A and B are shown apart, each in its own frame.
Chain A
Amino acid sequence: MANEFTILLLIGLPWLGALLVWFTGDSRPRFQHLLAVLFSLAAGAVALSLIPGATDQAVLTLNVGGIFGAFTFVPDGLGVFLAAVATVVGSLAVIFSVEYMKGEAQLGRYYALVLFFIGGMVGLVLSGSLLLMFFFWEITALCSFALIAFNNDDPKAVAGGLKALIITSLGGVGLLIGALVIYGYTGSYEVNDFLAGAAQLPPDVLSLVAFGFLAAAAAKSSQVPFHTWLPGAMEAPTPISALIHAATMVNAGVYLLARFYPAFEGVPGWTTAVVIVGLASACLAALMALVAQDLKRALAYSTISQLGYMVYAVGVGGVFASQFHLLSHAVFKALLFLGAGAVIHSVGTRDMRQMGGLGQKMPFVRNTFIIGALALAGLPILNGFWSKELVLEAGLSGGPGWAFALMVIGAGLTACYTFRMVWLVFFGEPRAHLHAHETGPAMKVSLGLLAFGTLTTWLLVGPFGEMLAETLPHHHLHILDLGELISEILLAPATWLALAVIAIGLAAWWWHERLAAVRDGLGFLARWAEADFGFEWINRQVVRLTRGTAEALTATQTGVLNWNVAGIVGGLVAVLMILLLAWGA
């Protein structure tokens, strides 16, 4: 049942909920919790009901006049799948928040922004018009900023939020330029028109659009070299990290690449660039995760790394593999973040060096976290195993060999840092006197459902592939049903190679005391990884340069309105003269 009403409901329900929570006022927190949970659950239900009705036709058309074309909403397979992820993980994050945010001030602002984000994310993935997509793209960036900076009396949180906003907005410029150029050449903002007629654009223009979109995607999905904002975004409350910075918004970049892959695959150098971006993110972020001391930062680096796998998959032509890994990752990474949130909520620190031995005090959290960790490491039979192997297999058949080799090494690193993380948090001797307690029911519901999803979502591969293949006419996907998936994965040499490397990765952590010599030998790499491979330094230089220029230019600002206007009129005269000269020539 995909009609216009459902789409309006899907975007409108969270937004209505946001308004209601906001107007309820912070004097009635229980009612706010209740409203937020109800509206997010309702949106989740509507999104799930939309799945059987996925179609490649626009079902909702908002007529905004002949100048802009119509704003359309197209619930195709890619769109409804991501909308379902956004709303379902969103509702679980909201349920988790009931306990996590209990007693916090300004709940109204928190829930209103979360619900506004869910609606915006749904709009982003369902909109069939590039202009509308850009609007929703910026709405999600705005919500992300506001929620990272939720504790706005903490300068670190505000700074992290600003950094995220600046970097993702810079990427958004790429999307806007691409959209405007497409409109300029085809006279339509419709995504499907563009996918059908991309070949008619001049090659250099198409390549401008393709690389503009790649920049937008890299910034949004926190890929190298724009990845520096995601670790800073970990200042957000943990349910936000799980929802926005692991399961939904950061996937928007991968979504964009997958959505426009048919149009750009012929652009010279584009697929190679995508492979390199994905590869660099996957491997560098895995190394950074290996040396991170902060639990949430380690998870953030692991998110960058896993997103790198998805980007890589798109680059080698495995759009289906990338989306399948996206589904798995959204579920198991949300689980890991929420598990980390439960730990942090309980012990009050994010530093893994102070944790240890928490498993006995929090058995439920430990068990669910381990399920998520095994999926992240890519061990059978969890969903992360199937999707990661599918990505690697796509890489072996469709991409360069050296990239495949590095990605397999990345899988080994993933196993190693995952194991390290689990060990440091839950096992070993307690390293500090921390007061830990088991979580309450709301957190358990969210964790339990996500753990169940981690164990089972790969079973849905058949219907998932069919839905994508039927509703994406331009993509020519290579889909598999469950039986084919199992046989293909288990018989592929890539799988056994990857599993061997993963085992080496696990062993490397297990015997890391004995491998001390190797570790010390690689100390330079660790220090380099701790310094973020120099990307933070580049960021600082850019900021310094901007500030320096701005400060030098303050001399021109008198602060007097009249002089400002004189400057504007002077600028007008200059522009008019340039135009005249250009015309005269």
Chain B
Amino acid sequence: MDAWLVALLAGSVLCAIQAIRATRLLTAAIWLAGVSALVSVALYILGAQQVAVIELSVGAGLVTVLFVFAISIAGEEAMAVRGIVPQPVGLVLVIGAVALLAYMVLPAVGVGSPVIEGSFSQMLWEERGLDVLVQIALIFAGVIGVLGLIGEGKAVPAATAPDTAAEPAAPAIAATEDSTHPAEAVAEAVERAPVPELEEVHA
């Protein structure tokens, strides 16, 4: 088991390095899928079967598809390879953080603790019920966010709401709100949600 784990983790770290080094986005996405697949196998070996399956299907499957999709829309782009943060600074910071973490976590190895039984579904639905609610809220927020992003800047045909179109009111709160009129939609996008100056609080 240990040998397998070493191989899997080493493989996933290699894939991760390749994903960062890749110059083409598509290649990076494929390497990321590799990381995800190897990690999910490692999870399986550790006994976290359910999460391994979720990770394989969602992490390696769905997210990769999304990446490919997004890359095909946004397109590859030639970009300076040199990072903005000087490489030595970055390396020192990251190695410092990881080394400190390792120094703090590794002594915990060998501190045994009693095994507490409980099935996955029981844990998920009963012990961590709030998490499920939070997940629902997250998904909802994600959907709203994506809808808002996709809807932004797109002029909706004038036929949507004739009587509201008469009143040009800039929706400041709901970014998801349909724009009412093509001409206004453009004007709205320009002056969208003029964030009030804090000083005006006292106006």
List A residues at the B interface (Cβ < 8 Å): 25-27, 29, 62-68, 105-106, 109, 146, 149, 152-153, 155-156, 158-160, 162-163, 232, 536, 539-540, 543-544, 546-547, 560, 562-563, 566, 569-570, 572-573, 576-577, 579-580
Map CB proximity to A onto B69-96 as digits: 1 under 8 Å, 0 otherwise.
Answer: 0000000000000011100011001101
Interface contact A159-B164, CB-CB below 8 Å: no
Interface contact B169-A106, CB-CB below 8 Å: yes
Interface contact A562-B85, CB-CB below 8 Å: yes
Q: Which of B126, B173, B198, B200 contacts A146, CB < 8 Å?
A: B173
> Can you name 21 A-B pairs with beta carbons within 8 Å?
A27-B162, A63-B129, A68-B129, A68-B130, A109-B174, A149-B173, A152-B169, A152-B173, A158-B172, A232-B201, A544-B199, A560-B84, A566-B85, A566-B93, A569-B97, A572-B97, A573-B93, A577-B100, A579-B104, A580-B103, A580-B104
Q: Which of B103, B130, B167 contacts A67, CB < 8 Å?
A: B130
Instruction: Contacts A152-B171, A152-B173, A576-B100 given; indicate if A547 touches B129 (C-beta within 8 A).
Output: no
Interface contact B161-A152, CB-CB below 8 Å: no
Interface contact B100-A65, CB-CB below 8 Å: no
B120 to chain A, nearest CB (A): 14
At the interface, yes or no: B101 with Cβ under 8 Å from chain A? yes
Interface contact B104-A163, CB-CB below 8 Å: no
Q: Please classify the interface of chain A as helix (H, G, I), strand (E, B), loop, or mixed, using the class held by over half of its residues.
A: helix
At the interface, yes or no: B24 with Cβ under 8 Å from chain A? no
Interface contact B202-A543, CB-CB below 8 Å: yes
Contact residues in B for A68 (Cβ distance below 8 Å): 129-130
Instruction: Contacts A66-B126, A149-B173, A562-B85 given; indicate if A543 touches B100 (C-beta within 8 A).
Output: no
Bound-state CA distance A159–B203 (Å) is 8
B119 to chain A, nearest CB (A): 14
Bound-state CA distance A94–B128 (Å) is 39
Q: Which of B97, B130, B201 contacts A159, CB < 8 Å?
A: B201
Contact residues in A for B170 (Cβ distance below 8 Å): 152-153
Contact residues in A for B164 (Cβ distance below 8 Å): 26-27, 105-106
A187 to chain B, nearest CB (A): 15
For B200, give the chain A residue with the smallest CB separation.
A159
Bound-state CA distance A562–B96 (Å) is 17
Interface contact B127-A65, CB-CB below 8 Å: yes
Bound-state CA distance A566–B87 (Å) is 11
A431 to chain B, nearest CB (A): 26
B147 to chain A, nearest CB (A): 14
Contact residues in B for A576 (Cβ distance below 8 Å): 97, 100-101, 104
Bound-state CA distance A473–B87 (Å) is 66
At the interface, yes or no: B133 with Cβ under 8 Å from chain A? yes
Contact residues in B for A569 (Cβ distance below 8 Å): 93-94, 97
Task: List the 4 closest pairs (A to B, CB-CB), nearest first.
Answer: A64-B129, A105-B167, A65-B129, A152-B172
Interface contact A536-B202, CB-CB below 8 Å: yes
A65 to chain B, nearest CB (A): 4
Contact residues in B for A65 (Cβ distance below 8 Å): 126-131
Bound-state CA distance A135–B115 (Å) is 35
Interface contact B93-A580, CB-CB below 8 Å: no
For A107, give the chain B residue with the smallest CB separation.
B164
